[in-house]
Amino acid sequence: EIVMTQSPATLSVSPGERVTLSCRASQSVSDNLAWYQQKPGQASRLLIYDASTRATGIPARFSGSGTGTEFTLTISSLQSEDFAVYYCQQYNFWYTFGQGTKLEIK
The pairing of strands 10-13 and 101-105 is parallel
For another protein, the binding residue among 11, 21, 29, 49 (CB under 8 A) is 49
**The 3-state secondary structure of the chain, one letter per residue:** CCCEEEECCEEEECCCCCEEEEEEECCCCCCCEEEEEECCCCCCEEEEECCCEECCCCCCCEEEEEECCEEEEEECCCCHHHCCEEEEEECCCCCEECCCEEEEEC
Site for another protein in 83-102 (CB under 8 A): 87, 89, 91, 94-100
As measured in angstroms, the least distance from the Cβ of 16 to another protein is: 28
As measured in angstroms, the least distance from the Cβ of 98 to another protein is: 5
For another protein, the binding residue among 34, 73, 84, 103 (CB under 8 A) is 34
As measured in angstroms, the least distance from the Cβ of 59 to another protein is: 16
As measured in angstroms, the least distance from the Cβ of 15 to another protein is: 25
For another protein, the binding residue among 2, 13, 19, 46 (CB under 8 A) is 46
